[in-house]
């Protein structure tokens, strides 16, 4: 087979670069979008997404992981014909699932929206525009799972960047065009899309559902572009399996056997992914539903806390639950930045750990698992702690409502555990325990539902209850996930040695960032506060990483073009060595 894979860190680096580009593009999308459609519009946007994600996960999430695991396993055993056949049998499965999932989203959204917020069901246009993305995304998943199993992360990276660019350009242009057209119509005729309104503020409110749908259009078209990118890559580059390897390969398993194995592997993974995304659906349902109740029974408490940060027309039109959910959506966007980074390690770790497990090499397995956990800690701890400690300045820098900064205090801490949980689940799946992440997620989801329902209904806690439920849920998942991983692999995970130094470095950096934030606030308040405090955080963290020798020589050697940097750091004794 021609060498196509990049190895664990090389593959993770490709995905990290792609994730970085996608998140930068996403920032250029969501920050202006928030300025165009505001908190209420972002509430519609976020509601459409939280309906989309669990349906998409139910249709596709398990199969890419199952394909990747089975492809990696068959490559290790040199069963190249099975690898090719796996790709072929997956196509009709995804066509069927994508069609059913799209239909479910189109037919089931209206009753769900009626349940969560009877006073404001204006998210429906955005939901309907987003529904076809489920179908096209499911077809993209065929190629992503196949190439990830081959260890080639480039198709996933290329397609994600192409999708994000389309979302940025088309989504922003359409949202802006809808709002601009609505305001022009109001000025000329006093109506918005044929509906009479009494003021410019109310005209803006009437246009928001359609502007949010316009922003979503970029996402749907982006899913088509992503699929085309993957299809072209597959047609041009192939999979690297040669004719000679196919001739020397054993006869492939029958299609029926492969389909059964694929479904058996995929179902627990899909249920686990569904549970994760149901978590967001729980936030959408309970947050808006319970806050609607609070507004009915204890409006004075809620408006006393947030009235200064909400638009009067949103209060008058009963859109406070939607506005608060929009603030939560913006906080959740920042929260998801950290898991997005470690998702690259989870995807890249799956074929690496699967190959080590299949080969039966205990040293190779231990090295693979400990490398993943250590690198994940190096990224998740500083990112999550920075989001929490510097939540106010970060929200201000991005132009978000101050309510978003308050929510981010809890979600920032929760992002550490949410991010760590992704590669832990991937490694459990790699060693054959696909059921464990599902079982743990079901318990975590029950915890989250219970906390969300109780806490968001308390007037003094309200929207913060969703943040606390998220934090506790992911802490539980990470703690018990690590315990299960150690038990299944018969490894004694040296958690303090893996996580202790990154934690100390993150705390030191957070203290520096917090102190700088308060000093700058007295002289240069506003966005300068965030920039200087984050710069201080990064500088102190990098210094601590080098001083504590957290980086390993093998980490740098696995990355291209780092020979000179490795030599300099080694000469100054700023990097550690492979033995933990």
Instruction: Give the pLDDT of residue 403.
Output: 92
Instruction: Give the pLDDT of residue 269.
Output: 64
Cβ atoms 420, 477 nearer than 8 A: no
More confident position, 241 or 512: 512
pTM, two decimal places:
0.69
Counting residues of the chain whose pLDDT is more than 70, the rounded percentage is 84
Counting residues of the chain whose pLDDT is more than 90, the rounded percentage is 20
Instruction: Give the pLDDT of residue 489.
Output: 84
Give the pLDDT band (50/70/90) at residue 268. low
In this prediction, residues 487-496 reach a mean pLDDT of 80
Q: What angle do the packed helices 124-149 and 80-116 form, to 10 degrees?
A: 160
Q: How many CB atoms lie within 10 A of CB 177?
A: 12
In this prediction, residues 369-388 reach a mean pLDDT of 87
The C-alpha atoms of residue 415 and residue 234 are separated, in whole angstroms, by 35
Give the pLDDT band (50/70/90) at residue 412. very high
- Asked if the model's pLDDT at residue 6 lies above 60, the reply is no
Cβ atoms 373, 423 nearer than 8 A: yes
Q: Which of these ranges, 390-399, 461-470, 552-561, has the smallest mean pLDDT?
A: 552-561
In this prediction, residues 75-87 reach a mean pLDDT of 82
More confident position, 497 or 420: 420
DSSP codes joined into one string, 300-311: HHHHHHHGGGS-
Give the pLDDT band (50/70/90) at residue 569. low
Give the pLDDT band (50/70/90) at residue 445. confident
The C-alpha atoms of residue 332 and residue 337 are separated, in whole angstroms, by 9
The C-alpha atoms of residue 63 and residue 67 are separated, in whole angstroms, by 6
- Asked if the model's pLDDT at residue 320 lies above 50, the reply is yes
Q: Which of these ranges, 298-307, 344-353, 427-436, 437-446, has the smallest mean pLDDT?
A: 344-353
Q: Taking the CA atoms of the chain, what radius of gyration do you get in angstroms?
A: 24
- Asked if the model's pLDDT at residue 365 lies above 80, the reply is no
Instruction: Give the pLDDT of residue 385.
Output: 95
Average pLDDT value over all residues in the chain:
82
- Asked if the model's pLDDT at residue 274 lies above 70, the reply is no
Cβ atoms 250, 55 nearer than 8 A: no
Give the pLDDT band (50/70/90) at residue 216. very high
The C-alpha atoms of residue 60 and residue 62 are separated, in whole angstroms, by 6
Residue 64 CA: distances (Å) to CA of 86, 144, 343: 11, 7, 14
DSSP state, residue 253: P
The C-alpha atoms of residue 358 and residue 72 are separated, in whole angstroms, by 9
The C-alpha atoms of residue 557 and residue 367 are separated, in whole angstroms, by 15
> pLDDT tens digit string along 146-186?
887 777 778 888 888 899 899 889 999 999 999 999 999 98
Give the pLDDT band (50/70/90) at residue 580. very low
Q: Which of these ranges, 2-16, 110-124, 305-319, 440-454, has the smallest mean pLDDT?
A: 2-16
- Asked if the model's pLDDT at residue 502 lies above 50, the reply is yes
Q: Which of these ranges, 106-120, 128-142, 240-254, 436-450, has the smallest mean pLDDT?
A: 106-120
562 Cα distance to chain centroid: 29
Q: Which of these ranges, 218-222, 305-309, 338-342, 470-474, has the smallest mean pLDDT?
A: 338-342
Domain segments of the chain as ranges: 24-276
Instruction: Give the pLDDT of residue 366.
Output: 78
Phi, psi dihedral angles at 112 (to 5 degrees): -65, -45
- Residue whose C-alpha is closest to residue 248's, from 53, 465, 78: 78
Instruction: Give the pLDDT of residue 228.
Output: 93
Instruction: Give the pLDDT of residue 2.
Output: 46
In sequence order, which residues have a C-beta less than 8 Å from that of residue 507 and are 6 or more positions away? 385
Q: Which of these ranges, 175-184, 376-385, 522-531, has the smallest mean pLDDT?
A: 522-531
Instruction: Give the pLDDT of residue 279.
Output: 65
Instruction: Give the pLDDT of residue 1.
Output: 46
> pLDDT tens digit string along 17-53?
776 787 778 778 888 898 899 888 888 888 888 788 7
Instruction: Give the pLDDT of residue 108.
Output: 85
Instruction: Give the pLDDT of residue 566.
Output: 65
Give the pLDDT band (50/70/90) at residue 135. very high
């Amino acid at each position: 087979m021609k060498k196509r894979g990049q190895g664990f860190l090389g593959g993770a680096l490709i995905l990290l670069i792609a994730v970085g580009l996608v998140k930068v593009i996403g920032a250029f999308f969501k920050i202006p979008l928030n300025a165009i459609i505001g908190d209420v519009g972002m509430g519609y946007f976020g509601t459409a997404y939280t309906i989309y994600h669990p349906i998409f996960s139910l249709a596709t999430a398990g199969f890419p992981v199952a394909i990747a695991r089975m492809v990696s396993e068959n490559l290790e055993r040199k069963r190249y014909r099975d690898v090719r056949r796996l790709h072929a049998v997956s196509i009709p499965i995804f066509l069927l699932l994508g069609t059913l999932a799209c239909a479910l989203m189109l037919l089931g959204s209206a009753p769900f929206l009626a349940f969560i917020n009877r006073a404001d069901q204006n998210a429906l246009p955005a939901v309907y525009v987003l529904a076809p993305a489920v179908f096209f995304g499911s077809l993209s998943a065929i190629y992503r799972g196949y190439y990830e199993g081959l260890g080639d992360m480039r198709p996933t990276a290329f397609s994600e960047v192409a999708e994000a660019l389309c979302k940025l350009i088309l989504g922003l242009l359409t949202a802006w065009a809808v709002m601009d057209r609505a305001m022009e119509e109001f000025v000329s005729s006093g109506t918005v899309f044929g509906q009479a309104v009494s003021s410019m503020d109310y005209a803006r409110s009437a246009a928001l559902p359609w502007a949010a749908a316009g922003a979503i259009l970029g996402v749907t078209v982006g899913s088509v572009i992503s699929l085309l990118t993957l299809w072209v890559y597959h047609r041009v580059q192939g999979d690297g399996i040669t004719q000679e390897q196919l001739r020397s390969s054993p006869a492939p398993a029958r299609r029926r056997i492969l389909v059964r194995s694929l479904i058996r592997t995929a179902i627990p993974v899909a249920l686990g992914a569904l549970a994760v995304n149901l978590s967001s659906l729980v936030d959408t349902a309970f947050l808006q539903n319970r806050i609607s109740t609070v507004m009915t029974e204890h409006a004075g408490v809620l408006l006393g806390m947030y009235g200064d940060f909400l638009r009067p027309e949103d209060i008058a039109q009963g859109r406070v639950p939607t506005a608060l959910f929009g603030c939560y959506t913006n906080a959740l966007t920042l929260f998801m930045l950290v898991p997005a980074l470690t998702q690259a390690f989870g995807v890249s770790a799956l074929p690496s750990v699967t190959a080590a497990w299949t080969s039966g090499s205990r040293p190779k397995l231990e090295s693979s698992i400990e490398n993943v956990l250590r690198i994940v800690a190096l990224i998740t701890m500083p990112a999550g702690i920075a989001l929490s400690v510097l939540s106010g300045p970060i929200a201000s820098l991005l132009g978000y409502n101050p309510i978003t900064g308050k929510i981010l205090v809890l979600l920032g801490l929760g992002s550490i555990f949410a991010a760590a949980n992704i590669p832990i689940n991937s490694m459990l799946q790699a060693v054959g325990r696909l059921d464990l992440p599902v079982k743990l997620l079901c318990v975590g989801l029950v915890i989250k539902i219970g906390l969300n329902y109780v806490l968001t209904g308390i007037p003094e806690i309200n929207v913060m209850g969703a943040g606390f439920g998220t934090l506790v849920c992911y802490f539980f998942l990470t703690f018990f996930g690590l315990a299960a991983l150690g038990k299944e692999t018969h490894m004694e995970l040296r958690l303090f040695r893996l996580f202790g130094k990154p934690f100390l470095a993150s705390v030191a950096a957070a203290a520096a960032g917090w102190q700088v934030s308060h000093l700058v606030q007295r002289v240069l308040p506003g966005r300068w506060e965030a920039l200087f405090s984050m710069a201080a955080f990064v500088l102190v963290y990098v210094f601590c990483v080098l001083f504590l020798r957290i980086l390993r020589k093998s980490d740098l050697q696995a990355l291209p073009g780092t020979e000179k940097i490795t030599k300099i750091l080694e000469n100054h004794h700023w990097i550690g060595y492979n033995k933990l």
